[in-house]
Chains A and B, each alone.
Chain A
Amino acid sequence: MYGSLAIVGYGLSAIGPGIGVGLIFAAYVSGVARQPEARGILQPIAILGFALAEALAIFGIALAFVFAGTPPQ
């Protein structure tokens, strides 16, 4: 069995954005729960924060493929 260490690195690097995205949506949910009429204002902000936090994970997956190397023959 073989694989690429870069993919393990990507898994580790996805922890941070995962926590970040979780925190963003937790804040969004509690904000809407406190003030349901603010949903329309909060939604684009939450999605924007999600997109910015997710960018780090996307960098990770791109770099994981860049540094994946060649399989053993």
Chain B
Amino acid sequence: MSSLLAAGEGTGFEAPDPIETFWQPLWGGNSQFALTRPMVMAVFSVVLLSVWLLLSTRKMALVPGKAQFVTESVYGMVRNGLGRDILGSKDFLRFVPLLFTMFMLILTNNLFGIIPPIQYPTMSRFGFPLALALIVFVVYHVVGIRSMGLGGYFRHMVPAGLPWLIVPLIFFLELLTYFVTRPVTLALRLFGNMFAGHILLVLCVVGGEHLLFGDTGIAVKGTGVLVFLGGFVMTLFEGFVQFLQAYVFTLLTALYIAGSLATDEH
């Protein structure tokens, strides 16, 4: 029984348990080293993306075909909308591979959440977004230290022209932002959205199934249909959220790198 979602008494309804819903080991039993379903899906997404990108860009034409057009428009959005506009036209090109990889990988893994045979967003296991956030964490620190030096990097965290009395306070807050808040929110945002969205869809389906086919009266069965319809609408909404979260993750990656590149102001 779930501790999180109140269960009605006497109706025999068991709300979906978050642990049982998300913990799906395939091999290795219940141990810490079990091979789980999201691991297989993450590898599958990489294979899928590699095959897609290789096939759609194999025969590049001036007038693109359908596959080339899809790939090019996504690449154009990341390159121009996220890379060039935020990082500046001087040195955005070296970060485009990172941004494009992040966007495609997160988008594919998120969309697994609503694609029927899979229906499990990989990023709803915290380890996956955490790994991606750690990559971003390392990248923007390295970029910052390379472009301004170690001392300059810490100096640029505090805006110039502040009264000297509040400089230590601002420096402490900025240090917290750079080393704690940014990676934690980056990972938690993606994880939280995917986790909450998936558990909502599971609740809609399980609850609707219970209301329709469970030991309930005829009046309640009508609400079961409504819950199923709600689940359908929420699936469409989840598709939107999954795209948006992939975009937001890439946008924030670009913004953090841009903050580390900026040497002129501050």
Please report A residues at the B interface, Cβ cutoff 8 Å: 1-4, 7, 44, 47-48, 50-51, 54-55, 57-59, 61-62, 65, 68-71
Partner among A7, A55, A68 whose Cβ is within 8 Å of the Cβ of B188: A55
CB distance from B127 to the nearest CB of A (A): 14
- Set B2, B8, B193, B255: member contacting A48, Cβ < 8 A: B255
Give the complex CA separation of A70 and B18 in angstroms.
Answer: 13
Q: Is the CB of B248 within 8 A of A3?
A: no
What 6 additional pairs, Cβ within 8 angstroms, besides A2-B6, A54-B189? A3-B4, A3-B6, A44-B85, A48-B251, A62-B188, A65-B18
Does any Cβ of A come within 8 Å of B252's Cβ? yes
Q: Quick check: is B223 within 8 A (CB to CB) of the other chain?
A: no
Contacts of A51 in B (CB 8 A): 189, 248, 251-252
- B9 contacts the other chain (Cβ, under 8 Å)? yes
Neighbouring A residues of B244 by C-beta, 8 Å = 47
- Which bucket holds chain B's interface residue count? 20 to 34
A7–B3 CA distance with the chains assembled, in angstroms: 10
* Contact across chains for A47 and B192 when beta carbons are under 8 A apart: no
* Chain A CB within 8 A of B247 CB: yes
Task: Please list 24 pairs of residues, one from A and one from B, whose beta carbons are closer than 8 Å in the complex, sorted by A's number.
Answer: A1-B6, A1-B7, A1-B9, A2-B3, A2-B6, A2-B7, A3-B5, A4-B3, A44-B85, A44-B251, A47-B247, A51-B189, A51-B251, A55-B185, A55-B188, A55-B189, A58-B193, A61-B196, A62-B188, A62-B191, A65-B4, A65-B18, A70-B3, A71-B1
Find the A residue at minimum CB distance from B249. A51
State how many angstroms separate the Cβ of A42 from the closest Cβ of chain B: 13
B230 at the interface (CB under 8 A from A): no
Residue of B nearest to A61 (CB): B192
